[in-house]
C-alpha cells in the first residue's frame, strides 16, 4: 500500500512539475493544482494507522487515523480556493495583455524595467553631470565651485 | 483573552468586507479596528511579560485534544510588529484615497493571518493562518490594477503557492514522524525521530520559509513583485508578510528542529553571506528606487540568516531585533519612496540612515548586535562580511537618495499631500525613537529570546 501511495504521489508531482515548466499559463495553473493534490495525497499517506472508516467503528476493528482526514479536507478547501484565485489572476493577465504566453509576459516585464532605467549602462560620472544640468542655476554654482 | 485580538480582527475584517472601502469613513473604521487589535495584543503582551507563556485550547475542547493557541513574547513582538506596519500602510492608503472597495478589509484579513500564526501552538493551524494571510496578499498585489500589477500578482501567486505546498508536505512529514501537531509535543518527540526523516522534513520547511523571506537562491520572484505593486502594498509585503519567514524559522528552526539547525549552521552562514553580497551588489547597480529597495531586502535577510545560524539566546535576540528594525526600515522606505516634499524626504533619509546603520537611528543597533555576535564567536570572516555588507548598504542607500532628490519627476504616479507624508514620517520617527532610547526594546527582546526553550548551546 505504501508503494502504491508513493508511486501515485510521485506521478502526480512529476506531472505537475512538468506542466509548471510549460509556457502556457493555464497549463502552469494545472501543474500547480496537480502538485497541490500530490501534497494532499501525501497527507493521507502520512496517516499513523490504516483501517476501517473512523465513523462508527465496530468493536475490535482497527480504525483509520481520523486526524489526517480532517487535515486533508482543510487542505483541499484551501488549495481549491487558491487555484480559483490563480485562475482569476490568469484571466486578469489575459485581459490586460491579450496573451497567455509566458515569454510575452516576460517581454513586457523587460520593457517595463528598461523604461524604469533609461540610463542603465551609463557611467556614474555621466549620471552626475546630467543631474547637475537638471539642477537650478544657483545650486549649480555651488556644485561646480 | 488570547482570542480577543484575533476576534476583533476577524469580525472587523468580515464586517468591513461588506462596506465600501473607497469611502474614507470606512477606511478609517478599518484603521480603528486594527488599532483596537494592537491595543488588545499589547495588553495580552503585558500579561505574558509578567506571567509567562499563555495557552488555551479552542472550541471548549480539553487541553491536548483541541487546537492550542499559545502566546509567548516572541509571538507578541512579531504580532505587534506586523500590525503596526499594516496600520501604517493602511492609513497611508486611506489618506491618499483607496482605489478598491475591498482594500481595507483585505488588510484586516492579512492582519488576521499574521496575528493568528504568531499566536498558534499547532503546526497545521499555523499553515491555515499562513494561507489566510497569503490569500489576502495574493489579492492585495493586484491592487492598482494595471498590467504591471497583474504580472506581479501572477509571479507572486505561482512561487508562493509552491512554497505553501512545500510547507504542507513538511507538516505531514512532522505528523508522520512524531505523531503530534502540537508544537510543544513535537519538540518533546523530535529527539526520538531518526536522523534522515528529520533532516528531510527540516530542509523542506526551511526552503518553504526561505521562499517567503526571499533569501538568495529563492529570491527570483521578489524584485518583480516589490517593484510591480503599489508602494503601500510593497510596504506591507516587505514589512509584515516577510515576517512569516523569520517567525517560522524561529518557531520551526530553533524550537522544533534545533538539532538540524545546528547541523545546518554552515549552510545558513553561506546562504546568508551570499544573500548579503548579492543583494548589496545588485542594489548598487540598479537605478529605479523601488528596485534598489527590493534587492536591499534580499541583502538584509542575509543578516537574519547569519544570526539564526548562531542560535542560542544571543543569536535569537539578534534575529528578533534585526527583523523588527528591518521591517520598519522597509515600511518607511517603501512608503516614502514615491512621495514628494521635504517631510517625506526626511522620512526617506531616516530610513536610509537606518538601513546603513548610522548611530542616531535604530538600524545602528541591528548592525551593532550583528558585529557583537560575530566578535563573540571570534569569526573574522563574519566581521569582515558584515563590514562589507554595511559598506555596500551605505553606498547604495545614498546613491538612491541622491538620485531621488536630483531627478525632479520620474514617475507618472507620484502621490502628493501632507497626510501621506506625515504617515511615513511618524513611522520614521519611531526608528529614531528606538535609536535614542533602545533600552525597553532591547529588554523586551532579551526576555523573548530567553523564553524560547534552547535545544542546544552553540
User: Cα dihedral angle (B217, B222, B224, B226), rounded to 10 degrees?
Assistant: -160
pTM (two decimals): 0.89
When pLDDT is cut at 50, 70 and 90, the band that residue B374 belongs to is confident
Q: Which residue of B has its CA nearest to A96?
A: B147
Distance from CA of A59 to the nearest CA of B (A): 23
Average pLDDT rounded to a whole number, residues A105-133: 63
So what's the pLDDT on residue A136? 53
Out of A14-18, A28-32, B331-335, B396-400, pick the least confident.
B396-400
Average pLDDT rounded to a whole number, residues B238-260: 89
Q: Does A87 touch chain B (CB under 8 A)?
A: no
Q: Is B68 helix (H, G, I), strand (E, B) or coil?
A: strand
Q: Is residue B44 part of a domain?
A: no
When pLDDT is cut at 50, 70 and 90, the band that residue B257 belongs to is confident
Give me the architecture of the A2-100 domain, per CATH.
Orthogonal Bundle (1.10)
Q: Does A32 touch chain B (CB under 8 A)?
A: yes
Q: Which residue of A has its CA nearest to B130?
A: A78
So what's the pLDDT on residue B165? 92
All 3 cell numbers of residue A63? 480504525
Do residues B335 and B260 lie in contact, with contact meaning Cβ atoms separated by under 8 Å?
no
So what's the pLDDT on residue A30? 93
Domain regions of chain A by residue span: 2-100
Above 70 in pLDDT, residue B216?
yes
Above 70 in pLDDT, residue B8?
yes
So what's the pLDDT on residue A117? 64
Q: Is residue B418 part of a domain?
A: yes
Q: Do A86 and B179 touch (CB under 8 A)?
A: no
Alpha helix ranges (H) inside B311-362: 312-336, 342-356
Q: Chain A contacts of B151, Cβ < 8 Å?
A: 93, 97, 105, 108-109
Above 90 in pLDDT, residue B397?
no
Angle at B153 between CA B148 and CA B155, to 5 degrees: 100
* Structural domains of chain B, count: 1
Above 50 in pLDDT, residue A121?
no
Above 60 in pLDDT, residue A74?
yes
Above 70 in pLDDT, residue B457?
no
So what's the pLDDT on residue B413? 52
Q: In which residue are the cell numbers 512529514 written?
A: B173
When pLDDT is cut at 50, 70 and 90, the band that residue B350 belongs to is confident
What's the Cα-to-Cα distance from A102 to each of A97, A106, A108, B111, B242, rounded to whole Å?
Answer: 11, 6, 10, 33, 26
Do residues B214 and B222 lie in contact, with contact meaning Cβ atoms separated by under 8 Å?
yes
Burial class of residue B191, CB neighbours in 10 A (0-12, 13-18, 19+): exposed
Q: Which of A38, A89, A97 sits opposite B147 (nearest CB)?
A: A97
All 3 cell numbers of residue B51? 506571567
So what's the pLDDT on residue B80? 93
- Cα separation, B61 vs B55, whole angstroms: 13
Out of B208-212, B296-300, B380-384, pick the least confident.
B380-384
Do residues B266 and B306 lie in contact, with contact meaning Cβ atoms separated by under 8 Å?
no
When pLDDT is cut at 50, 70 and 90, the band that residue B207 belongs to is very high
Average pLDDT rounded to a whole number, residues B212-231: 86
Q: Is residue B130 part of a domain?
A: no
Do residues B16 and B70 lie in contact, with contact meaning Cβ atoms separated by under 8 Å?
no
- Cα separation, B73 vs B83, whole angstroms: 15
| Interface test mutation site (partner A, options B59, B133, B135, B287, max chain A beta carbons within 10 A) | B287
When pLDDT is cut at 50, 70 and 90, the band that residue A142 belongs to is very low
- Cα separation, A115 vs A127, whole angstroms: 16
Above 80 in pLDDT, residue B241?
yes
Q: Does A75 touch chain B (CB under 8 A)?
A: yes
Average pLDDT rounded to a whole number, residues B194-214: 90
Q: Is residue B15 part of a domain?
A: no
Distance from CA of A1 to the nearest CA of B (A): 16
- DSSP class of residue B71 equals E
When pLDDT is cut at 50, 70 and 90, the band that residue A118 belongs to is low
When pLDDT is cut at 50, 70 and 90, the band that residue B369 belongs to is confident
- Cα separation, B41 vs B36, whole angstroms: 9
- Cα separation, A47 vs A30, whole angstroms: 27
Above 50 in pLDDT, residue B456?
no
Show the domain range for B309.
Answer: 264-458
Q: Chain B contacts of A87, Cβ < 8 Å?
A: none
Average pLDDT rounded to a whole number, residues B195-214: 90
Q: Do A92 and B153 touch (CB under 8 A)?
A: yes
Task: State what percent of residues in chain A have pLDDT above 70.
Answer: 78
Above 90 in pLDDT, residue B145?
no
Chain B interface with A: residues with Cβ < 8 Å? 124, 127-128, 131, 134-135, 138-139, 142, 145-148, 150-151, 153-154, 157-158, 161-162, 164-165, 168-169, 172-173, 175-176, 179, 181, 224, 227, 286-288, 291, 402-403, 406-408
Do residues B308 and B319 lie in contact, with contact meaning Cβ atoms separated by under 8 Å?
yes
- Cα separation, B95 vs B40, whole angstroms: 25
> How high does pLDDT run on average in chain A?
80
Q: Does A134 touch chain B (CB under 8 A)?
A: yes
When pLDDT is cut at 50, 70 and 90, the band that residue A129 belongs to is low
Q: Does A74 touch chain B (CB under 8 A)?
A: yes
Q: Do B154 and A32 touch (CB under 8 A)?
A: no
Helix (H) or strand (E) holding B91: helix B73-95
Angle at B169 between CA B165 and CA B172, to 5 degrees: 140
Out of A71-85, B83-97, B409-423, pick the least confident.
B409-423
All 3 cell numbers of residue B184? 510543544
Out of A99-103, B31-35, B135-139, B325-329, pick the least confident.
A99-103
So what's the pLDDT on residue A120? 45
Do residues B17 and B30 lie in contact, with contact meaning Cβ atoms separated by under 8 Å?
no
Do residues A102 and A90 lie in contact, with contact meaning Cβ atoms separated by under 8 Å?
no
Q: Which of A67, A119, A131 sits opposite B287 (nearest CB)?
A: A119
Above 60 in pLDDT, residue A141?
no
Average pLDDT rounded to a whole number, residues B184-203: 88
Above 90 in pLDDT, residue A19?
yes
Above 90 in pLDDT, residue A123?
no
Q: Which residue of B has its CA nearest to A139?
A: B406
All 3 cell numbers of residue B424? 511615513
> How high does pLDDT run on average in chain B?
86
Q: Do A92 and B150 touch (CB under 8 A)?
A: yes
Average pLDDT rounded to a whole number, residues B111-124: 92
Amino acid at each position: 500500500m505504501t508503494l502504491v501511495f508513493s508511486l501515485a504521489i510521485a506521478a502526480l508531482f512529476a506531472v505537475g512539475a512538468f506542466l509548471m515548466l510549460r509556457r502556457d499559463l493555464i497549463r502552469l495553473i494545472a501543474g500547480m493544482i496537480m502538485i497541490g493534490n500530490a501534497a494532499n495525497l501525501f497527507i493521507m499517506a502520512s496517516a499513523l494507522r490504516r483501517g476501517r472508516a473512523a465513523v462508527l467503528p465496530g468493536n475490535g476493528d482497527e480504525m483509520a487515523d481520523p486526524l489526517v482526514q480532517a487535515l486533508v479536507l482543510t487542505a483541499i478547501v484551501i488549495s481549491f480556493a487558491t487555484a480559483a484565485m490563480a485562475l482569476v489572476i490568469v484571466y486578469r493577465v489575459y485581459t490586460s495583455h491579450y496573451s497567455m504566453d509566458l515569454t510575452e509576459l516576460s517581454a513586457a516585464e523587460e520593457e517595463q524595467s528598461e523604461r524604469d532605467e533609461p540610463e542603465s549602462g551609463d557611467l556614474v560620472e555621466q549620471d552626475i553631470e546630467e543631474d547637475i544640468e537638471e539642477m537650478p542655476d544657483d545650486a549649480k554654482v555651488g556644485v561646480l565651485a | 483573552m488570547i482570542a480577543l485580538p484575533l476576534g476583533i480582527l476577524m469580525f472587523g475584517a468580515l464586517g468591513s468586507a461588506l462596506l465600501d472601502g473607497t469611502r474614507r469613513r470606512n477606511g478609517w473604521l478599518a484603521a480603528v479596528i486594527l488599532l483596537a487589535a494592537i491595543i488588545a495584543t499589547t495588553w495580552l503582551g503585558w500579561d505574558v511579560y509578567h506571567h509567562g507563556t499563555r495557552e488555551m485550547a479552542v472550541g471548549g475542547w480539553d487541553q491536548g485534544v483541541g487546537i492550542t493557541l499559545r502566546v509567548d513574547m516572541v509571538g507578541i513582538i512579531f504580532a505587534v510588529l506586523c500590525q503596526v506596519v499594516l496600520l501604517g500602510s493602511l492609513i497611508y492608503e486611506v489618506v491618499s484615497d483607496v482605489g478598491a472597495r475591498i482594500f481595507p478589509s483585505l488588510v484586516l484579513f492579512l492582519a488576521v493571518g499574521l496575528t493568528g500564526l504568531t499566536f498558534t501552538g499547532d503546526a497545521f493551524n499555523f499553515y491555515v493562518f499562513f494561507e489566510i494571510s497569503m490569500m489576502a496578499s495574493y489579492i492585495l498585489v493586484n491592487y492598482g490594477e494595471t498590467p504591471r500589477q497583474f504580472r506581479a500578482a501572477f509571479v507572486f501567486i505561482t512561487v508562493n503557492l509552491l512554497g505553501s505546498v512545500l510547507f504542507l508536505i513538511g507538516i505531514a512529514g512532522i505528523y508522520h514522524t512524531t505523531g503530534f501537531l502540537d508544537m510543544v509535543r513535537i519538540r518533546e518527540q523530535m529527539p526520538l525521530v531518526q536522523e534522515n526523516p528529520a533532516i528531510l522534513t527540516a530542509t523542506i520547511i526551511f526552503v518553504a520559509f526561505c521562499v517567503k523571506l526571499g533569501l538568495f537562491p529563492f529570491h527570483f520572484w521578489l524584485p518583480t513583485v516589490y517593484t510591480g505593486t503599489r508602494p503601500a502594498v510593497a510596504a506591507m509585503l516587505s514589512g509584515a508578510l516577510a515576517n512569516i519567514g523569520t517567525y517560522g524559522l524561529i518557531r520551526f528552526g530553533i524550537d522544533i528542529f534545533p538539532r538540524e539547525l545546528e547541523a545546518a549552521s554552515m549552510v545558513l552562514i553561506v546562504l546568508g553571506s551570499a544573500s548579503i553580497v548579492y543583494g548589496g551588489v545588485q542594489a548598487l547597480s540598479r537605478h529605479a528606487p523601488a528596485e534598489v529597495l527590493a534587492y536591499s531586502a534580499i541583502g538584509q535577510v542575509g543578516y537574519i540568516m547569519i544570526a539564526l545560524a548562531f542560535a542560542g539566546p544571543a543569536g535569537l535576540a539578534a534575529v528578533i531585533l534585526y527583523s523588527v528594525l528591518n521591517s520598519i526600515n522597509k515600511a518607511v522606505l517603501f512608503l516614502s519612496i514615491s512621495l514628494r516634499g521635504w517631510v517625506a524626504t526626511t522620512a526617506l533619509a531616516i530610513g536610509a540612515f537606518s538601513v546603513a546603520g548610522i548611530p542616531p537611528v535604530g538600524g545602528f543597533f541591528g548592525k551593532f548586535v550583528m558585529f557583537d555576535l560575530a566578535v563573540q564567536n571570534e569569526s573574522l570572516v563574519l566581521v569582515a562580511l558584515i563590514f562589507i555588507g554595511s559598506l555596500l548598504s551605505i553606498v547604495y542607500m545614498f546613491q538612491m537618495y541622491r538620485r531621488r532628490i536630483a531627478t525632479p519627476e520620474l514617475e507618472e504616479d507620484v502621490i502628493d499631500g501632507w497626510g501621506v507624508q506625515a504617515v511615513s514620517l511618524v513611522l520614521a520617527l519611531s526608528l529614531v525613537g528606538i535609536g535614542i532610547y533602545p533600552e525597553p526594546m532591547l529588554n523586551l527582546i532579551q526576555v523573548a529570546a530567553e523564553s524560547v526553550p534552547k535545544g542546544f548551546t552553540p
